Protein backbone atom coordinates (compact mmCIF):
# COMPACT_ATOMS: atom_id res chain seq x y z
CA UNK A 1 0.00 0.00 0.00
CA UNK A 2 1.04 3.58 -0.63
CA UNK A 3 3.10 5.69 1.75
CA UNK A 4 1.79 9.06 2.88
CA UNK A 5 3.79 11.83 4.56
CA UNK A 6 1.89 14.72 6.13
CA UNK A 7 3.86 17.89 6.90
CA UNK A 8 2.75 20.54 9.39
CA UNK A 9 4.35 22.99 11.85
CA UNK A 10 3.32 21.25 15.08
CA UNK A 11 0.50 19.11 16.43
CA UNK A 12 -0.65 21.80 18.86
CA UNK A 13 -4.17 23.01 19.63
CA UNK A 14 -5.01 24.68 16.31
CA UNK A 15 -7.71 23.85 13.79
CA UNK A 16 -5.46 22.16 11.24
CA UNK A 17 -3.95 20.01 13.99
CA UNK A 18 -7.44 19.03 15.10
CA UNK A 19 -8.30 17.93 11.57
CA UNK A 20 -5.20 15.73 11.48
CA UNK A 21 -6.22 14.18 14.79
CA UNK A 22 -9.65 13.33 13.40
CA UNK A 23 -8.17 11.98 10.16
CA UNK A 24 -5.37 9.94 11.69
CA UNK A 25 -7.23 6.63 12.04
CA UNK A 26 -8.77 6.77 8.58
CA UNK A 27 -5.42 7.62 7.01
CA UNK A 28 -3.77 4.74 8.90
CA UNK A 29 -6.53 2.42 7.63
CA UNK A 30 -6.15 3.58 4.05
CA UNK A 31 -2.39 3.86 3.50
CA UNK A 32 0.44 1.39 4.01
CA UNK A 33 2.29 3.82 6.25
CA UNK A 34 1.58 7.34 7.47
CA UNK A 35 4.06 9.80 8.98
CA UNK A 36 3.27 13.21 10.45
CA UNK A 37 6.40 15.31 9.97
CA UNK A 38 6.64 18.39 12.21
CA UNK A 39 8.69 21.37 11.08
CA UNK A 40 8.74 22.87 14.58
CA UNK A 41 8.41 19.73 16.72
CA UNK A 42 6.46 19.59 19.97
CA UNK A 43 4.02 17.16 21.57
CA UNK A 44 0.55 16.41 20.17
CA UNK A 45 -2.33 18.24 21.85
CA UNK A 46 -5.03 16.05 20.31
CA UNK A 47 -4.97 12.22 20.20
CA UNK A 48 -3.26 10.69 17.18
CA UNK A 49 -3.72 7.07 16.08
CA UNK A 50 -0.81 4.95 17.36
CA UNK A 51 -0.17 3.62 13.85
CA UNK A 52 0.85 7.11 12.68
CA UNK A 53 4.56 7.77 13.11
CA UNK A 54 5.37 11.28 14.36
CA UNK A 55 8.69 12.74 13.19
CA UNK A 56 10.20 15.99 14.50
CA UNK A 57 12.52 17.70 12.00
CA UNK A 58 14.36 19.70 14.71
CA UNK A 59 15.14 16.43 16.52
CA UNK A 60 16.37 14.43 13.53
CA UNK A 61 18.21 17.43 12.08
CA UNK A 62 20.05 18.16 15.31
CA UNK A 63 20.61 21.72 14.13
CA UNK A 64 18.63 24.92 14.28
CA UNK A 65 17.49 26.92 11.27
CA UNK A 66 15.19 26.43 8.32
CA UNK A 67 18.02 25.64 5.91
CA UNK A 68 18.97 22.58 7.94
CA UNK A 69 15.33 21.53 8.16
CA UNK A 70 14.85 21.93 4.40
CA UNK A 71 17.82 19.65 3.79
CA UNK A 72 16.60 17.18 6.43
CA UNK A 73 13.10 17.07 4.94
CA UNK A 74 14.53 16.50 1.46
CA UNK A 75 16.65 13.60 2.72
CA UNK A 76 13.61 12.13 4.47
CA UNK A 77 11.61 12.21 1.24
CA UNK A 78 14.49 10.65 -0.68
CA UNK A 79 14.73 7.86 1.90
CA UNK A 80 11.01 7.13 2.36
CA UNK A 81 9.92 7.72 -1.26
CA UNK A 82 6.28 8.38 -0.36
CA UNK A 83 3.68 8.22 -3.09
CA UNK A 84 2.25 11.50 -1.78
CA UNK A 85 3.11 14.39 0.53
CA UNK A 86 0.25 16.35 2.09
CA UNK A 87 1.26 19.73 3.52
CA UNK A 88 -0.77 21.93 5.87
CA UNK A 89 -0.49 25.73 6.28
CA UNK A 90 0.91 28.08 3.64
CA UNK A 91 4.38 28.88 5.09
CA UNK A 92 5.12 25.18 5.56
CA UNK A 93 3.71 24.22 2.18
CA UNK A 94 6.20 26.70 0.72
CA UNK A 95 8.98 24.88 2.60
CA UNK A 96 7.79 21.48 1.36
CA UNK A 97 7.72 22.62 -2.26
CA UNK A 98 11.10 24.33 -1.95
CA UNK A 99 12.69 21.25 -0.44
CA UNK A 100 11.37 18.97 -3.21
CA UNK A 101 12.47 21.09 -6.20
CA UNK A 102 13.99 18.83 -8.84
CA UNK A 103 12.26 15.74 -7.42
CA UNK A 104 9.32 13.95 -9.03
CA UNK A 105 7.42 14.10 -5.76
CA UNK A 106 3.65 14.48 -5.74
CA UNK A 107 2.51 17.16 -3.29
CA UNK A 108 -0.96 18.31 -2.20
CA UNK A 109 -1.21 21.52 -0.16
CA UNK A 110 -4.03 22.19 2.31
CA UNK A 111 -4.85 25.88 2.75
CA UNK A 112 -6.39 27.01 6.04
CA UNK A 113 -6.78 30.79 5.74
CA UNK A 114 -7.76 33.64 3.44
CA UNK A 115 -5.55 33.28 0.31
CA UNK A 116 -5.50 37.03 -0.29
CA UNK A 117 -4.02 37.90 3.11
CA UNK A 118 -0.36 38.82 2.96
CA UNK A 119 2.17 36.35 4.28
CA UNK A 120 5.07 37.41 6.47
CA UNK A 121 7.01 38.13 3.28
CA UNK A 122 4.35 40.54 2.00
CA UNK A 123 3.77 40.63 -1.74
CA UNK A 124 7.04 38.79 -2.32
CA UNK A 125 5.73 35.99 -0.11
CA UNK A 126 2.52 35.77 -2.12
CA UNK A 127 4.49 35.69 -5.36
CA UNK A 128 6.71 32.87 -4.03
CA UNK A 129 3.64 30.94 -2.89
CA UNK A 130 1.96 31.23 -6.27
CA UNK A 131 5.13 30.33 -8.15
CA UNK A 132 5.63 27.21 -6.05
CA UNK A 133 1.95 26.20 -6.03
CA UNK A 134 2.16 25.72 -9.77
CA UNK A 135 4.18 22.60 -8.92
CA UNK A 136 1.57 21.27 -6.50
CA UNK A 137 -0.58 18.37 -7.68
CA UNK A 138 -3.61 19.63 -5.78
CA UNK A 139 -4.81 22.48 -3.57
CA UNK A 140 -7.35 21.73 -0.85
CA UNK A 141 -9.35 24.55 0.69
CA UNK A 142 -11.94 24.72 3.46
CA UNK A 143 -14.31 27.13 1.74
CA UNK A 144 -15.74 28.07 -1.64
CA UNK A 145 -14.29 31.56 -1.21
CA UNK A 146 -10.73 30.22 -0.86
CA UNK A 147 -11.27 27.89 -3.81
CA UNK A 148 -12.41 30.80 -5.97
CA UNK A 149 -9.21 32.70 -5.12
CA UNK A 150 -7.00 29.84 -6.29
CA UNK A 151 -9.18 29.00 -9.28
CA UNK A 152 -8.15 32.36 -10.74
CA UNK A 153 -4.57 31.09 -11.03
CA UNK A 154 -4.78 27.31 -10.77
CA UNK A 155 -8.02 26.29 -12.48
CA UNK A 156 -8.74 22.59 -12.10
CA UNK A 157 -6.31 22.07 -9.20
CA UNK A 158 -8.54 23.06 -6.30
CA UNK A 159 -11.15 21.25 -4.24
CA UNK A 160 -13.18 22.17 -1.14
CA UNK A 161 -13.37 19.83 1.85
CA UNK A 162 -15.04 21.23 4.96
CA UNK A 163 -13.64 20.70 8.45
CA UNK A 164 -14.98 17.54 10.09
CA UNK A 165 -17.05 17.66 13.29
CA UNK A 166 -16.56 14.82 15.76
CA UNK A 167 -19.98 15.21 17.33
CA UNK A 168 -22.17 12.23 18.24
CA UNK A 169 -25.73 12.02 16.94
CA UNK A 170 -26.94 12.67 20.50
CA UNK A 171 -24.96 15.92 20.68
CA UNK A 172 -26.31 17.26 17.41
CA UNK A 173 -29.07 19.73 18.24
CA UNK A 174 -28.22 19.56 21.95
CA UNK A 175 -28.74 23.32 22.32
CA UNK A 176 -32.35 22.93 21.19
CA UNK A 177 -33.02 20.70 24.21
CA UNK A 178 -31.00 22.61 26.82
CA UNK A 179 -32.63 25.12 29.22
CA UNK A 180 -31.59 28.60 28.18
CA UNK A 181 -29.82 31.44 29.94
CA UNK A 182 -29.84 35.04 28.70
CA UNK A 183 -26.36 34.67 27.26
CA UNK A 184 -24.62 35.30 23.96
CA UNK A 185 -21.50 33.20 23.56
CA UNK A 186 -18.38 33.09 21.40
CA UNK A 187 -15.20 31.01 21.31
CA UNK A 188 -11.88 31.74 19.66
CA UNK A 189 -8.38 33.01 20.14
CA UNK A 190 -8.19 36.45 21.77
CA UNK A 191 -6.42 38.45 19.07
CA UNK A 192 -7.15 41.53 16.96
CA UNK A 193 -8.20 39.60 13.84
CA UNK A 194 -11.11 38.09 15.81
CA UNK A 195 -12.29 41.66 16.58
CA UNK A 196 -13.77 40.89 19.99
CA UNK A 197 -13.55 44.66 20.63
CA UNK A 198 -16.35 45.19 18.11
CA UNK A 199 -18.34 42.43 19.78
CA UNK A 200 -18.01 44.11 23.18
CA UNK A 201 -18.98 47.49 21.73
CA UNK A 202 -22.07 45.97 20.08
CA UNK A 203 -23.00 44.18 23.29
CA UNK A 204 -22.67 47.46 25.21
CA UNK A 205 -25.24 49.07 22.90
CA UNK A 206 -27.52 46.01 23.02
CA UNK A 207 -27.24 45.84 26.82
CA UNK A 208 -28.84 49.27 27.25
CA UNK A 209 -32.21 47.82 26.22
CA UNK A 210 -31.57 44.23 27.40
CA UNK A 211 -29.90 44.51 30.84
CA UNK A 212 -30.73 40.90 31.73
CA UNK A 213 -28.20 39.56 29.17
CA UNK A 214 -24.55 38.53 29.48
CA UNK A 215 -21.74 37.96 26.99
CA UNK A 216 -19.33 35.06 27.57
CA UNK A 217 -16.10 34.87 25.54
CA UNK A 218 -14.17 31.57 25.62
CA UNK A 219 -10.53 31.42 24.54
CA UNK A 220 -7.09 32.79 25.33
CA UNK A 221 -4.61 34.91 23.45
CA UNK A 222 -2.46 38.04 23.38
CA UNK A 223 -5.43 40.44 23.44
CA UNK A 224 -6.73 39.28 26.84
CA UNK A 225 -5.25 42.20 28.78
CA UNK A 226 -6.51 44.89 26.40
CA UNK A 227 -9.96 43.29 26.18
CA UNK A 228 -10.24 43.10 29.97
CA UNK A 229 -9.18 46.73 30.24
CA UNK A 230 -11.89 47.66 27.76
CA UNK A 231 -14.50 45.69 29.70
CA UNK A 232 -13.46 47.38 32.95
CA UNK A 233 -13.46 50.88 31.46
CA UNK A 234 -16.98 50.33 30.13
CA UNK A 235 -18.02 48.98 33.55
CA UNK A 236 -19.22 45.75 31.96
CA UNK A 237 -17.22 43.39 34.16
CA UNK A 238 -20.39 41.95 35.72
CA UNK A 239 -21.94 41.07 32.37
CA UNK A 240 -19.01 40.41 29.98
CA UNK A 241 -16.75 37.52 30.93
CA UNK A 242 -13.44 36.37 29.45
CA UNK A 243 -13.92 32.75 30.44
CA UNK A 244 -10.62 31.34 29.14
CA UNK A 245 -10.23 27.84 27.74
CA UNK A 246 -12.53 24.97 28.64
CA UNK A 247 -12.65 21.25 27.94
CA UNK A 248 -16.43 21.34 28.13
CA UNK A 249 -17.18 23.96 25.47
CA UNK A 250 -20.18 22.28 23.83
CA UNK A 251 -22.08 21.86 27.08
CA UNK A 252 -21.30 25.43 28.09
CA UNK A 253 -22.36 26.85 24.72
CA UNK A 254 -25.57 24.81 24.61
CA UNK A 255 -27.28 26.92 27.30
CA UNK A 256 -26.64 30.17 25.40
CA UNK A 257 -29.26 31.77 23.19
CA UNK A 258 -26.94 32.41 20.23
CA UNK A 259 -23.31 32.28 19.06
CA UNK A 260 -21.36 35.29 17.76
CA UNK A 261 -18.40 35.50 15.37
CA UNK A 262 -16.88 38.91 14.58
CA UNK A 263 -13.65 38.00 12.76
CA UNK A 264 -12.10 40.24 10.12
CA UNK A 265 -11.25 37.10 8.14
CA UNK A 266 -11.25 33.33 8.69
CA UNK A 267 -10.13 30.09 7.12
CA UNK A 268 -13.03 28.12 8.52
CA UNK A 269 -14.15 28.63 12.13
CA UNK A 270 -14.48 25.29 13.90
CA UNK A 271 -16.31 27.00 16.76
CA UNK A 272 -18.90 28.42 14.34
CA UNK A 273 -19.52 25.01 12.75
CA UNK A 274 -19.84 23.34 16.13
CA UNK A 275 -22.23 25.99 17.42
CA UNK A 276 -24.46 25.47 14.39
CA UNK A 277 -24.39 21.68 14.77
CA UNK A 278 -25.38 22.09 18.42
CA UNK A 279 -28.45 24.00 17.23
CA UNK A 280 -27.48 27.55 18.13
CA UNK A 281 -28.56 30.41 15.89
CA UNK A 282 -25.46 32.35 14.86
CA UNK A 283 -24.55 35.91 13.96
CA UNK A 284 -21.33 36.17 11.96
CA UNK A 285 -19.38 38.62 9.89
CA UNK A 286 -19.22 37.79 6.19
CA UNK A 287 -16.02 35.77 6.35
CA UNK A 288 -15.01 32.58 4.57
CA UNK A 289 -16.78 29.56 6.00
CA UNK A 290 -19.62 31.60 7.41
CA UNK A 291 -20.75 32.57 3.92
CA UNK A 292 -20.63 28.87 2.92
CA UNK A 293 -22.84 27.68 5.76
CA UNK A 294 -25.08 30.56 6.88
CA UNK A 295 -28.20 31.39 4.91
CA UNK A 296 -28.95 34.90 6.11
CA UNK A 297 -32.22 35.03 8.02
CA UNK A 298 -32.72 31.23 7.89
CA UNK A 299 -30.09 29.58 10.12
CA UNK A 300 -28.35 32.74 11.28
CA UNK A 301 -27.42 36.27 10.31
CA UNK A 302 -24.54 37.62 8.23
CA UNK A 303 -23.23 41.12 8.87
CA UNK A 304 -20.43 43.22 7.41
CA UNK A 305 -17.01 43.19 9.05
CA UNK A 306 -16.71 45.86 11.79
CA UNK A 307 -20.47 46.60 11.64
CA UNK A 308 -21.22 46.87 15.36
CA UNK A 309 -24.61 48.52 14.78
CA UNK A 310 -25.87 45.59 12.70
CA UNK A 311 -24.54 43.15 15.27
CA UNK A 312 -26.39 44.90 18.10
CA UNK A 313 -29.55 44.99 15.97
CA UNK A 314 -29.40 41.25 15.15
CA UNK A 315 -28.74 40.41 18.79
CA UNK A 316 -31.90 42.31 19.71
CA UNK A 317 -33.88 40.46 17.03
CA UNK A 318 -32.90 37.11 18.50
CA UNK A 319 -33.31 38.20 22.11
CA UNK A 320 -36.85 39.41 21.42
CA UNK A 321 -38.11 36.25 19.68
CA UNK A 322 -37.78 32.78 21.15
CA UNK A 323 -39.64 31.40 18.11
CA UNK A 324 -37.03 32.85 15.77
CA UNK A 325 -34.20 31.45 17.88
CA UNK A 326 -35.77 27.99 17.81
CA UNK A 327 -36.42 28.06 14.07
CA UNK A 328 -32.92 29.31 13.25
CA UNK A 329 -31.32 26.85 15.66
CA UNK A 330 -33.13 23.91 14.09
CA UNK A 331 -32.02 25.02 10.62
CA UNK A 332 -28.46 25.58 11.85
CA UNK A 333 -28.21 22.03 13.19
CA UNK A 334 -28.84 20.66 9.69
CA UNK A 335 -25.31 21.78 8.77
CA UNK A 336 -24.12 18.64 10.55
CA UNK A 337 -24.95 16.52 7.50
CA UNK A 338 -22.36 18.49 5.51
CA UNK A 339 -19.56 18.23 8.08
CA UNK A 340 -20.07 14.96 9.90
CA UNK A 341 -16.79 13.16 10.51
CA UNK A 342 -17.50 9.97 8.58
CA UNK A 343 -18.41 11.83 5.39
CA UNK A 344 -15.47 14.23 5.58
CA UNK A 345 -12.98 11.43 6.29
CA UNK A 346 -14.14 9.58 3.16
CA UNK A 347 -13.73 12.74 1.09
CA UNK A 348 -10.15 13.19 2.32
CA UNK A 349 -9.10 9.60 1.63
CA UNK A 350 -10.73 9.46 -1.80
CA UNK A 351 -9.16 12.75 -2.82
CA UNK A 352 -5.67 11.84 -1.64
CA UNK A 353 -5.78 8.45 -3.32
CA UNK A 354 -6.90 10.10 -6.56
CA UNK A 355 -3.62 12.02 -6.58
CA UNK A 356 -1.37 8.95 -6.39
- Paired residues of 54 in beta bridges: 36
The predicted-structure confidence for 253-292, as pLDDT tens digits, reads as follows 999 999 999 999 998 898 999 999 999 999 999 999 999 9
109 and 137 Cβ atoms separated by less than 8 Å: no
The predicted-structure confidence for 197-223, as pLDDT tens digits, reads as follows 999 999 999 999 999 999 999 999 999
Ordered strands of the 3-8 beta sheet: 53-56, 33-38, 3-8, 84-88, 107-110, 138-141, 158-160
The Cα 317–Cα 224 span in angstroms is 29
H-state helical runs in the chain: 15-30, 57-61, 66-80, 90-99, 122-133, 144-151, 196-207, 224-233, 249-254, 270-278, 290-293, 308-319, 322-333, 336-339, 341-354
The Cα 38–Cα 33 span in angstroms is 16
Q: Of 241, 260, 253, 276, which Cα lies nearest the Cα of 314?
A: 260
Query: Which pLDDT band, with edges at 50, 70 and 90, does 13 fall under?
Result: confident
Q: Of 55, 338, 277, 312, which Cα lies nearest the Cα of 200?
A: 312
3-164+340-354 matches 174-339 in fold = yes
Q: Is the pLDDT of residue 120 over 80?
A: no
Give the rounded percent of residues in the chain with a pLDDT score beyond 70: 100
The Cα 67–Cα 319 span in angstroms is 55
User: Count of CB atoms within 10 A of residue 19's CB?
Assistant: 23
Fold of the 174-339 domain? Rossmann fold (3.40.50)
Superfamily of structural domain 3-164+340-354: Glycogen Phosphorylase B; (3.40.50.2000)
- Paired residues of 287 in beta bridges: none
Q: Delimit the domains of the chain by residue range.
A: 3-164+340-354, 174-339
Q: What length does the chain have?
A: 356
Q: Of 251, 274, 249, 272, which Cα lies nearest the Cα of 260?
A: 272
pTM of the model: 0.85
Amino acid sequence: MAKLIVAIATLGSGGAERVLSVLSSNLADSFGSVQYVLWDGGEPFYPIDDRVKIVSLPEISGKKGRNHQLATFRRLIQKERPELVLSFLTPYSILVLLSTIGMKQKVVVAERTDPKRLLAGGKAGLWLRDWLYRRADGILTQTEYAKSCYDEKFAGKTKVIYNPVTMSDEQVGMALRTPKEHVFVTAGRLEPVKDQTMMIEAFEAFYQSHPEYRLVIYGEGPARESLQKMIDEKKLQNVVTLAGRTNDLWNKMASAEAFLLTSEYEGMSNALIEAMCLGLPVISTKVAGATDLIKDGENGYLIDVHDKDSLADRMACLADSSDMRLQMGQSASEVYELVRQDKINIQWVEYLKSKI
